[in-house]
Structure formats: structure tokens, C-alpha cells
Amino acid sequence: MIEGFIKGVFSSPIGIGDSNYAQFLTIKKGLSLFPSSPWTSNFPIVENDSKNAISWVLNLSFASWRMKNIYSNL
């Protein structure tokens, strides 16, 4: 990856939720788009400013029931 190079940007409505919920949905959406991207020969690099959302993705036992339900639909 080239430093400072953006490979994808997207946005969508999230309904009612806090910033952690929005960050978690962003990671989920990015990971769901990755298999159909031209970069599938590489590992995905997720950059995010939410330590909570990253920890939930890496270890689902830290996530709330709502996040676990979203994650199970990946």
C-alpha cells in the first residue's frame, strides 16, 4: 500500500446509534466489499480511530449483543 493512498470511501445511513456503532458498521461494510475489490490478493488493512470497534472485530467477546448480531451476518 502506498502511504496516504485511499482505496475506497463510502457512506450510508446507520439509523440510531453512537459513534462506536457507526465505526463498527463501517468496518463490517468495508470487509464485506473487500472480496469483490481488485485488491483481494492482499490482506485488508483497516484504519479506524475507534479502539472499541477494532477490539470488537478482533475479539467478539468484548462486543455487545447488538454488535455480535451484526458481526454474525458478515
pLDDT of the residue at 7: 67
- Amino acid identity at 21: Y
| Nearest alpha carbon to residue 39 among 47, 31, 27, 49 | 31
Asked if residues 47 and 7 have their Cβ atoms less than 8 Å apart, the reply is no
Q: List the end-to-end C-alpha distance of the chain, in Å, as a whole number.
A: 25
pTM over 0.75: no
Express each pLDDT in 45-55 by its tens digit: 777 777 777 78
Q: Is 7 helix (H, G, I), strand (E, B) or coil?
A: coil
pLDDT of the residue at 36: 81
| Residue 60 backbone class (left: φ over 0; alpha: ψ -120 to 50; beta: rest) | alpha
